């Protein structure tokens, strides 16, 4: 897939920025308090976009010497696996995924509290009050449009580009909306939870959206890829995913509605983690300003550390609407039942 190669090149450049800060052969605690973990290991379940999650672990290995196992899972699958392994945890870290999953894991004590030096600089809205999860990046839920198809098929008709999520319910888009399965993907579940919290008739919204869907996908990034390739005209996806493809030359146009839905990529230590010391070091690493500056240049998302937030990040975050992530976690079963109960023909 052609979009991967620029990211790989960028990764090599950005990793050099971080590794240059360390001395060769460093064996003691570094200035930022990260330990020498050569000969140690960590296991990470990640719902972040693959090249971003792997970049985080590569940078951590460069900084500490800690080796890792990295397993990608969509949000719901990651949460389900950690829940299934509760009595015998196999992973040390839950990374990424829609925020409701991290909240749910914390509520069910699937993750453990960690007191991190310096984490108090992260705004309270981006971390757990109980120190069970910590946001490293945020991103809004955007409307994603294939620019070439729009200009060829809809612009000549004088049709306005969608500006709000409700515009995707237009019958003109029947079979053209890319939307991942919310039973697996946190991207799509984030929209369903947002609609439940903000719309007076959420089931009507669900039914109209379902009637317009094209082929389903397993995760949110795949849905954006289908828009990028022209398989679907438009869809719903996180802005960082769309920007990563747009930077590789795909003809995408994105709209971030005012008062939009949004999410955090957060990290948490699994309760009973096999490697608790290594997991704590990884959390501390993720909270560092330097780490977030590097990762978010790869991820195209907004940092949570105030020192790593750019002016563009601030402008994007100004669009964020109210999101009750605890409510989204508590209502997950009911919301998915409402969605699954709707026939596409309704």
From first to last of the 346 residues of the chain, give the pLDDT tens digit.
Answer: 444 444 454 445 454 445 444 434 334 455 667 999 999 999 999 999 999 999 999 999 999 999 999 999 999 999 999 999 999 999 999 999 999 999 999 999 999 999 998 899 999 999 999 999 999 999 999 999 999 999 999 999 999 999 999 999 999 999 999 999 999 999 999 999 999 999 999 999 999 999 999 988 889 999 999 999 999 999 999 999 999 999 999 999 999 999 999 999 999 999 999 999 999 999 999 999 999 999 989 999 999 999 999 999 999 999 999 999 999 999 999 999 999 999 876 5
**Domain co-membership, 27 together with 106:** yes
Question: Could you tell me the sign of the dihedral formed by the alpha carbons of 216, 55, 252, 100, in that order?
Answer: positive
**Domain co-membership, 130 together with 170:** no
**151 by DSSP, 3-state: which?**
helix
pTM of the complete model = 0.88
Closest CA to 57 of 18, 98, 85, 9: 18
- Say which CATH number the domain at 248 has: 3.40.190.10
Q: Which two tokens stand for residue 62?
A: 């460069």
**Domain co-membership, 204 together with 330:** yes
**Domain co-membership, 26 together with 98:** yes
**Tokens 């993720």 identify what position?**
286
**Domain co-membership, 96 together with 72:** yes
Residue at 319 is within a domain: no
The number of distinct structural domains making up the chain is 2
Residue at 345 is within a domain: no
**Domain co-membership, 285 together with 238:** no
**Tokens 């991942």 identify what position?**
180
Residue at 317 is within a domain: no
**Domain co-membership, 197 together with 332:** yes
Backbone angles phi, psi at 53, to 5 degrees: -60, -45
Residue at 197 is within a domain: yes
- Domain with 59, as residue range(s), is 4-138+264-311
d(CA 199, CA 206): 11
């Amino acid at each position: 897939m052609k979009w991967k190669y620029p990211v790989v090149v960028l990764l090599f450049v950005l990793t050099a920025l971080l590794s240059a800060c360390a001395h060769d052969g460093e064996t003691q605690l570094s200035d930022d308090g990260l330990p020498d973990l050569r000969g140690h290991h960590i296991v990470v379940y990640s719902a972040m976009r693959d090249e971003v999650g792997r970049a985080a672990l590569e940078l951590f290995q460069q900084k500490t010497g800690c080796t890792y196992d990295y397993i990608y899972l969509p949000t719901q699958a990651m949460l389900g696996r950690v829940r299934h392994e509760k009595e015998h945890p196999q992973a040390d870290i839950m990374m990424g995924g829609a925020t409701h999953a991290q909240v749910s894991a914390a509520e069910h004590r699937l993750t453990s509290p960690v007191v991190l030096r310096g984490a108090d600089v992260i705004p309270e809205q981006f971390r757990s009050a109980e120190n069970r999860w910590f946001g490293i990046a945020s991103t809004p839920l955007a409307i994603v449009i294939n620019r070439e198809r729009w200009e060829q098929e809809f612009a000549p008709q004088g049709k306005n580009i969608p500006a709000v999520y409700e515009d995707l319910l237009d019958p003109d888009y029947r079979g053209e909306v890319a939307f991942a399965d919310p039973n697996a993907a946190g991207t799509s579940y984030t929209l369903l939870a947002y609609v439940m919290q903000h719309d007076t008739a959420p089931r009507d919204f669900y039914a109209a959206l379902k009637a317009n869907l094209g082929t389903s996908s397993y995760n949110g990034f795949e849905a954006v890829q289908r828009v990028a390739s022209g398989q679907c005209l438009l869809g719903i996806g996180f802005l960082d995913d769309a920007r990563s493809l747009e930077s590789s030359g795909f003809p995408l146009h994105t709209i971030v509605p005012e008062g939009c839905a949004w999410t955090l990529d957060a990290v948490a230590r699994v309760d009973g983690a096999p490697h608790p010391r290594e997991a704590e070091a990884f959390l501390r690493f993720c909270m560092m300003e330097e780490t977030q500056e590097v990762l978010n240049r790869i991820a195209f998302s907004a940092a949570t550390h105030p020192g790593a937030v750019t002016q563009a990040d601030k402008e994007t975050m100004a669009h964020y609407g109210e999101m009750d992530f605890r409510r989204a976690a508590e209502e997950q079963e009911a919301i998915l039942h409402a969605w699954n109960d709707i026939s596409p023909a309704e």
